[in-house]
Structure 1
Amino acid sequence: MDAFFLGIAVTLCLMMLLALYRAISGPTAIDRIMGVNVIGTKTTILLVLIGTLYHRVDMFVDIALAYALLNFIVTIGASRYFQHHKNLQPRGYGFRFKAEEDK
């Protein structure tokens, strides 16, 4: 049974790499936020699987719940920030204002 959970954990890590690609190369800020949110969700599931492998589910579920709550709060905060600053456009790995493009 441990091999089954280990296989699921490896599959989740591969899926997280796809979300990491979206978070890095997303054309918009919303794509990047969603990529990071998917990584956080998969990390929560991965924490519960690690707890199952170590036979300490009670401890790892508490950690996973705290991590999921933190992921939710950060996603809401980032979404609200970009909602209020709609003139920010991605440029490489940073952001710049649209007014800088006009100069």
Structure 2
Amino acid sequence: MMAWALDFALAAVALAAALAGWRLLRGPDHPDRVLALDTLYVDTVALVILLGLRFASDLLFEAALLIAMLGFVATVALARFIARGDVVE
């Protein structure tokens, strides 16, 4: 039962990531694309965590933590760039 639930969750999160990728490519404005990128990295973290549960690998949980930290920094940098035109004053 747990394997079926993990497979279903993997498929659902992969679909969400594909839709966020579509919005990233086809977004009408820059804020929409930044939000899609933020959603895409959250989906990626969820996929890596689900794969870590599926394969019982501790290394994948550490990779998810690194992706989450880099995604946060990237979102803040992109938001500052769009709002002010530069990242660092």
- The alignment's TM-score, normalised by the length of structure 2, stands at 0.88
Structure 1 ranges of 4+ moved more than 4 A: none
Who is 1:69 aligned against? 69
Point out which structure has higher relative CO (alpha carbons under 8 A, 6+ apart).
Answer: 2
Who is 2:34 aligned against? 33
- Any stretches of 5+ residues in structure 1 without a counterpart? 86-103
Percent of paired sites with the same residue: 25
- The answer on 1:59 being equivalent to 2:59 is yes
- The alignment's TM-score, normalised by the length of structure 1, stands at 0.77
Between Structure 1 and Structure 2, the one with more strand by share is 1
Give 1:6 shift: 1.1
Q: Which moved more, 1:61-70 or 1:18-27?
A: 18-27
CA distance in 2, matches of 1:19, 1:61: 22
What secondary structure, in the 3-state scheme, does the structure 1 residue paired with 2:56 have? coil
Between Structure 1 and Structure 2, the one with more helix by share is 2
Q: CA RMSD in A?
A: 0.9
Kindly provide the CA deviation profile for residues 8-58 of structure 1, in whole angstroms up to 9, marking residues without a partner as x.
Answer: 1011111111111211111110100110110100110110110111111x2
Amino acid in structure 1 at the alignment position of 2:23? R
- Any stretches of 5+ residues in structure 2 without a counterpart? none
Who is 2:82 aligned against? 82
How many residue pairs match? The answer is: 84
The structure that has the greater radius of gyration is 1
